[in-house]
């Protein structure tokens, strides 16, 4: 691995960490989970997944405080 | 030897913290540097974390790194995902920290900085952080159950119902008072209106970008949004300085109140990807950035505290809000010391992400200590202003009149100094035409922060930019709580309406969505409007109501926690939740009683109503009230406020009674002490992966 690809990998990792902290939908995690644990079940597309996660997040108390 | 050194160093840290507080308390007349307050607070936090939170982690729950957590047991790649502890900490902190820890301490600064500082530090160590941690650990042991579910299952259906209604009631009062703060900060301020108003199209733009242009590139869109926020800051200044445009955007407080209601309604009915989600991402970054900037600003500038340690207003005659230091200091500062709302988050997303049980200590107790530090910093930012400036900004017109001269006179009567020329210069330097009586805490905090930041970067010429930057991010936090809260409130309302008529509960059926959104917005809109037209300045009645409501939810949470501990057979450690529980009961009951029945019309809702009634009967009108109809509305408002406070008090009594009978039954052996937690299962994977 050369230096530029290692920097890119680091940026990708940092991006994922930041995305998780702000609570953005994490499709990759869902995908890898679904592939390992439920290989036969139908997968949601990225669009479906994101829409479903956001709807869920803003429908119950406990996502945001004073 | 090593053990001895460790004990010695902890004793030194504890002694340092206690010593500084003692020195500040006994020191008279000398100005205290903010650095002392920061050092004392940090000493307290580390000692509390090391020793007090250990009782909960080791003696009560016996948190075990080998015990399976819900995120592993129920891993679904969506809600339940085992997550790195630092990520969970960041996520949890961003969720619990909002405008609350900034505004409460600013308002409580009218008592001087010491009462607020002690309550923030002691309250968090023995109360707030304990509540967050105990609820988080209880929820982790119950597959991530919510506070409402736990209240129902641990205490009983009545407590569960009270918890549900209390949450809804708190959201109504919380949103109203937060909206009022925004209205007070933006009224008659074209710069503020334009800058904050532009954050809405910026969010829409981000939403569109993430949907059509570069789908799902959240960070790209957020970076773009952050840059646009800076542009919005300059556009605001340009409009404010443009004589043709400025009057168009100079909005009265009533107009702004209506605008915010419309905004809340739209946020509740529009798709979340368009408005809510992008605003939330933006706000999360701004939040973490501002907290870091505030800490840096205080540490670099190390400002002296201009406010006395204890002001004369501990006697209850303060202009910012009525009431003595006990109980009102403890009601005014909720977030930062103990906030019941956090229990919803500790039993919401966080327990579903926790990877290993012992992380609950770092996240539950630790994140709350961090929020407490934010509250301490906000208190410092409010107290770097001279008391004269602080009261001129935070006192309503009924206390200081409407001109700088009358304010200077009133402030002089209180024993402080306000130079009219200096205050006028300050007003101009932050780019405003009016700073007087901008109640609600946000503007005085913004002036304090602008003072700190401009000392570090930009000098006095940058005051105006920093001031509006601070106003913008405060409004951004608040509007993010407001829009998400309105939507959640709509869902909760639909959940209740479902019992009356099934179709009203359908969350995707448009008539039901519109109806329930309108109902929820009118509920908080009513209190907001009442606050805007209140001659005493609405903060005086609404902020204590919010404090009481928030502490009521903390009472529910601590009752749940105590019941969990008692049923685990650990009743001898139940003091951990009973100490804050008893204190909060005393505080909420006293404050509630005083707000309803106090004979002082500035404090008591009913005596104020009587005063207005007498004035109506005598054919005169209260100050600042123009028509008889308006006076009649004041009467209704007072009675509604009294009823709301009474409702919260009755709820406290019901929850306490229901919980106490559970505890007695278990302790006296009438009921077996059976814990409802999921039995131990070892982790599937090796520890340390």
Q: How close does chain A come to B343, measured CA to CA in Å?
A: 8
Non-local (6+) Cβ contacts of B452 within 8 A are B294, B297, B298, B301, B303, B381, B384
Query: What pLDDT does residue B165 have?
Result: 85
> Please, where are the H alpha helices in B509-627?
510-533, 539-567, 575-597, 605-617
Average pLDDT of chain B to the nearest whole number:
92
Which chain B residues have a beta carbon less than 8 Å from that of A46? Answer: 215-216
User: In which residue are the tokens 């100050």 written?
Assistant: B623
pLDDT digits (tens, 9 = 90+) for B25-73: 887 777 889 999 999 999 999 999 999 999 999 999 999 999 999 999 9
pLDDT digits (tens, 9 = 90+) for B383-403: 999 999 999 999 999 899 999
What is the average per-residue pLDDT within B277-285?
91
Residue B354 at interface with chain A, using a CB cutoff of 8 Å: no
Could you tell me the two tokens for B654? 């019901």
pLDDT at A63 exceeding the cut of 90: no
Which chain B residues have a beta carbon less than 8 Å from that of A58? Answer: 272, 276-277, 484, 487-488
Q: Searching chain B, which residue's CA lies closest to the CA of residue A11?
A: B219
The region, left, alpha or beta by phi > 0 then psi within -120 to 50, assigned to residue B308 is: beta
pLDDT confidence of B460, banded at 50, 70, 90? confident
> Which among B384, B383, B403 is positioned nearest to B392, based on CA atoms?
B403
Query: What pLDDT does residue B629 have?
Result: 85
Which chain A residues have a beta carbon less than 8 Å from that of B335? Answer: 65-66
Residue A22 at interface with chain B, using a CB cutoff of 8 Å: yes
| Angle in degrees, CA B524, B525, B530, rounded to 5 | 100
The pTM assigned to this predicted structure is 0.94
pLDDT digits (tens, 9 = 90+) for B315-354: 999 999 999 999 999 999 998 999 999 999 999 999 999 9
Range B2-189+250-515+537-594+661-667: architecture per CATH:
Up-down Bundle (1.20)
A58–B272 C-beta distance less than 8 A: yes
Query: What pLDDT does residue B18 have?
Result: 87
What is the average per-residue pLDDT within B421-432?
94
Query: What pLDDT does residue B208 have?
Result: 95
Residue B484 at interface with chain A, using a CB cutoff of 8 Å: yes
Yes or no: say if B113 and B342 are a contact pair by the CB < 8 Å rule: no
Which chain B residues have a beta carbon less than 8 Å from that of A14? Answer: none
pLDDT at B686 exceeding the cut of 60: no
Considering only B154-163, B192-201, B240-249, B513-522, which range has the smallest mean pLDDT?
Answer: B154-163
- Selected for mutation to probe chain B from A19, A30, A33, A62 (highest B CB count within 10 Å) is A62
Which chain A residues have a beta carbon less than 8 Å from that of B481? Answer: 64-66
ipTM score here?
0.91
Using DSSP bridges, classify how beta strands B32-33 and B304-305 pair: parallel, antiparallel or unpaired.
antiparallel
What is the average per-residue pLDDT within B538-551?
91
Residue B348 at interface with chain A, using a CB cutoff of 8 Å: yes
* Contacting A residues, span 26-65, partner chain B, CB-CB under 8 Å: 26-27, 29-34, 37, 46-47, 50-65
Residue B167 at interface with chain A, using a CB cutoff of 8 Å: yes
What is the average per-residue pLDDT within A37-52?
87
Which chain A residues have a beta carbon less than 8 Å from that of B281? Answer: 22, 24
Which chain A residues have a beta carbon less than 8 Å from that of B370? Answer: none
A64–B77 C-beta distance less than 8 A: no
pLDDT at A49 exceeding the cut of 70: yes
Q: Alpha carbon A38 to chain centroid distance?
A: 18
User: In which residue are the tokens 């009431």 written?
Assistant: B323
B272–A57 C-beta distance less than 8 A: yes
B345–A62 C-beta distance less than 8 A: yes
pLDDT at B532 exceeding the cut of 70: yes
What is the average per-residue pLDDT within B133-146?
96
Q: How close does chain B come to A17, measured CA to CA in Å?
A: 7
Which chain A residues have a beta carbon less than 8 Å from that of B269? Answer: none
Considering only A52-66, B133-147, B467-481, which range has the smallest mean pLDDT?
Answer: A52-66
Query: What pLDDT does residue B305 have?
Result: 94
Yes or no: say if B334 and B105 are a contact pair by the CB < 8 Å rule: no
CB pairs under 8 A between A and B: 125
Residue A23 at interface with chain B, using a CB cutoff of 8 Å: yes
pLDDT at B688 exceeding the cut of 50: no
B222–A59 C-beta distance less than 8 A: no
SS3 B33: strand
pLDDT digits (tens, 9 = 90+) for B567-594: 999 999 999 999 999 999 999 999 999 9
From A19, A22, A54, residue closest to B273, measured CB to CB:
A54
Query: What pLDDT does residue B685 have?
Result: 61
Q: Searching chain B, which residue's CA lies closest to the CA of residue A61?
A: B488
Considering only A34-43, B190-199, B647-656, which range has the smallest mean pLDDT?
Answer: A34-43
Q: H or E segment at B659?
A: helix B628-667
pLDDT at B689 exceeding the cut of 70: no
Q: What are phi and psi of B304, to 5 degrees?
A: -75, 150
Q: How close does chain A come to B283, measured CA to CA in Å?
A: 9
From A26, A32, A58, residue closest to B488, measured CB to CB:
A58
pLDDT confidence of B687, banded at 50, 70, 90? very low
What is the average per-residue pLDDT within B88-114?
93
Using a 10 angstrom Cβ sphere, with 0-12 exposed, 13-18 middle and 19 or more buried, the burial of residue B246 is middle
Alpha carbon distance, N-terminus to C-terminus of chain A = 46
If you ran DSSP here, which 8-state letter would residue B502 be given?
G
pLDDT at B358 exceeding the cut of 90: yes
Q: How close does chain B come to A16, measured CA to CA in Å?
A: 9
> Rounded distance, CA B305 to CA B643, Å?
40
SS3 B304: strand
B171–A61 C-beta distance less than 8 A: yes
Could you tell me the two tokens for B201? 């199209």
User: In which residue are the tokens 């940026």 written?
Assistant: A11
Query: What pLDDT does residue A4 have?
Result: 82
What is the average per-residue pLDDT within B292-320?
93
């Amino acid at each position: 691995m050369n230096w530029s690809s290692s920097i890119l990998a680091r940026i990708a990792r940092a991006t994922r960490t930041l995305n998780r902290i702000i609570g953005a939908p994490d499709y990759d995690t869902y995908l890898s989970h679904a592939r390992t644990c439920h290989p036969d079940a139908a997968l949601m597309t990225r669009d479906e997944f994101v829409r479903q996660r956001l709807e869920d997040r803003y429908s119950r108390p406990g996502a945001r405080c004073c | 030897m090593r053990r001895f050194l460790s004990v010695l160093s902890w004793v030194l840290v504890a002694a340092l913290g206690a010593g500084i507080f003692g020195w500040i308390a006994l020191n008279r007349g000398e100005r205290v540097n903010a650095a002392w307050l920061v050092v004392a607070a940090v000493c307290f936090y580390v000692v509390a974390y090391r020793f007090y939170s250990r009782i909960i982690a080791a003696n009560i729950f016996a948190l075990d790194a080998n015990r399976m957590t819900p995120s592993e047991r129920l891993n679904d790649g969506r809600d339940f995902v085992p997550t790195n502890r630092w990520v969970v900490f960041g996520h949890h902190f961003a969720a619990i920290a909002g405008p609350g820890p900034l505004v409460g301490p600013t308002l409580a600064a009218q008592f001087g900085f010491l009462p607020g500082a002690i309550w923030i530090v002691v309250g968090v160590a023995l109360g707030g952080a304990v509540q967050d941690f105990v609820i988080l650990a209880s929820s982790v042991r119950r597959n991530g159950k919510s506070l409402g579910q736990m209240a129902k299952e641990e205490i009983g259906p009545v407590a569960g119902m009270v918890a549900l209604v209390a949450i809804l009631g708190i959201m109504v009062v919380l949103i109203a008072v937060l909206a009022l703060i925004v209205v007070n900060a933006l009224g008659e301020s074209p710069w503020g209106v334009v800058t904050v108003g532009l954050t809405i199209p910026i969010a829409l733009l981000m939403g569109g970008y993430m949907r059509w242009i570069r789908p799902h590139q959240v960070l790209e869109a957020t970076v773009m949004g952050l840059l646009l926020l800076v542009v919005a800051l300059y556009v605001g200044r340009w409009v404010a300085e443009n004589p043709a445009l400025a009057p168009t955007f100079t909005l009265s407080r009533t107009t702004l109140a209506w605008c915010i209601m419309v905004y809340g309604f739209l946020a509740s009915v529009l798709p979340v990807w368009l408005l809510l989600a992008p605003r939330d991402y933006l706000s999360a970054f701004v939040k973490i950035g501002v907290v870091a900037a505030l800490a840096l600003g205080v540490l670099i500038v190390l400002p002296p505290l201009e406010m006395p340690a204890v002001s004369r207003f501990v006697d209850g005659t303060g202009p910012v809000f009525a009431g003595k230091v006990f109980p009102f200091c403890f009601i005014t500062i909720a977030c930062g010391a103990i906030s019941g709302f956090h229990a919803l988050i500790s039993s919401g997303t966080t327990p579903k992400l926790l990877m290993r049980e012992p992380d609950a200590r770092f996240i539950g107790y630790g994140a709350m200590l961090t929020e407490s530090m934010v509250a301490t910093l906000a208190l410092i930012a409010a107290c770097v202003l001279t008391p004269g400036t602080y009261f001129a900004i935070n006192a309503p017109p009924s206390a200081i009149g409407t001109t700088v001269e009358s304010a200077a006179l009133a402030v002089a009567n209180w024993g402080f100094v306000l130079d009219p020329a200096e205050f006028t210069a300050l007003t101009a330097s932050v780019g405003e035409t009016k700073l007087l009586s901008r109640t609600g805490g946000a503007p005085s905090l913004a002036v304090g922060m602008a003072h700190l930041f401009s000392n570090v970067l930009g000098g006095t010429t940058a005051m105006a930019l920093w001031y509006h930057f601070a106003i913008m991010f405060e409004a951004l936090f608040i509007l993010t709580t407001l829009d998400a809260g309105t939507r959640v409130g709509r869902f909760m309302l639909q959940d209740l309406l479902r019992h009356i008529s099934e179709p009203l509960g359908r969350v995707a059926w448009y008539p039901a969505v519109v109806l329930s959104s309108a109902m929820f917005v009118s509920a908080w809109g009513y209190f907001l409007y009442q606050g805007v037209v209140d001659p005493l300045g609405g903060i005086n009645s609404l902020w204590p109501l919010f404090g009481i409501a928030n502490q009521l939810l903390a009472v529910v949470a601590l009752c749940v926690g105590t019941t969990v501990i008692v049923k685990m057979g650990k009743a001898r450690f139940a003091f951990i939740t009973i100490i804050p529980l008893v204190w909060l009961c005393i505080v909420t009951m006293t404050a509630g009683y005083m707000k309803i029945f106090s004979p002082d019309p500035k404090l008591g809702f009913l005596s104020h109503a009587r005063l207005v009634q007498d004035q109506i009967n005598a054919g005169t009108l209260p100050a600042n009230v123009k028509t008889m109809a308006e006076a009649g509305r004041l009467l209704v408002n007072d009675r509604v406020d009294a009823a709301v406070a009474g409702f919260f008090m009755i709820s406290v009594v019901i929850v306490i009674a229901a919980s106490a009978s559970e505890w007695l039954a278990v302790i006296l052996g009438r009921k077996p002490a059976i814990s409802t937690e999921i039995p131990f299962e070892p982790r599937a994977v090796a520890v340390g992966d």
